[in-house]
Amino acid sequence: HYSVFPGMPRWPVGTQELTYAFNPGNGLSDTVKGVFAAAFARWAEVTSLTFRETSSYLGADIRIGFFSGDHGDGEPFDGSLGTLAHAFSPTNGRFHLDADEDWVVSGDVTRSALSTAVDLESVAVHEIGHLLGLGHSSMEEAVMFPTISSRKKKVVLSQDDITGIQYLY
Ligand code: TQI
Ligand code: ZN
Ligand code: ZN
């Protein structure tokens, strides 16, 4: 079953559009940006929320960046595997990914030769769930289930994820 964070933080009632921006220092390719756009679209499909990229990093509701190790927010990353990414409950908007993962951004992670390969879209869909206010789900098929194996792709929202997000929005 889905969960929400204590106190049920959510984006304000009436929020229609949320903006997101990429850390300018990362210089991300259009391919990588497209993976995030696809991940946002999965949540937009089942809510009345829309997501729009903006170039204003500091002005965006959701700020996405890749960082290595200690990156100044008291929650250091740990190299390959372990913590992959962290995002915070509404309306924090911080969405950080561990730059030291072997991210798979195009192609099929299940066929990667690297045992440490991690599918970027799968992690993005999960973290966006947190950014919107979902905690973890006890249902293994849910995108919000708290574990995923490396070299797995899980991007399709389960009915449990949909029920959870529709409870919030
Ligand atoms: N990062 C954890 C996560 O996003 C961070 C975390 C731990 C957390 N406990 C939390 C966030 C409680 C909110 C509330 O779950 S992670 C997965 C999964 C991670 C894990 O790097 O471990 C995914 C990131 F579910 F697959 F294991 C993305 Cl998809
Ligand atoms: Zn961080
Ligand atoms: Zn999580």
pLDDT at 155 over 80: yes
Listed by start position, the domains of the chain span 17-168
pLDDT tens digit sequence for 15-71: 999 999 999 999 999 999 999 999 999 999 999 999 999 999 999 999 999 999 999
Mean pLDDT of all residues in 149-166 = 93
Q: Quick check: 156 pLDDT over 80? A: yes
Nearest C-alpha to atom 4 of ligand 1 is from which residue? 86
Q: Which atom of ligand 1 is nearest to the CA of 130?
A: 13
Ligand 1 atom with least separation from CA of 5: 14
The larger pLDDT score, comparing residue 115 to residue 149, is at 115
Q: Tell me the C-alpha distance between 123 and 148, whole Å.
A: 9
Ligand 1 pocket test, pick from 42, 101, 148 with the greatest ligand atom count within 8 Å of Cβ, gives 148
Q: Is the ipTM of this complex over 0.90?
A: yes
The CATH number, out of the four listed (3.40.390.10, 3.30.1360.120, 3.30.930.10, 3.20.20.70), of the domain defined by the range 17-168: 3.40.390.10
- Which position has the higher pLDDT, 166 or 110? 166
148 pLDDT band (50/70/90 cuts)?
confident
3-state helix, strand, coil in the chain (%, to 5): 25, 20, 55
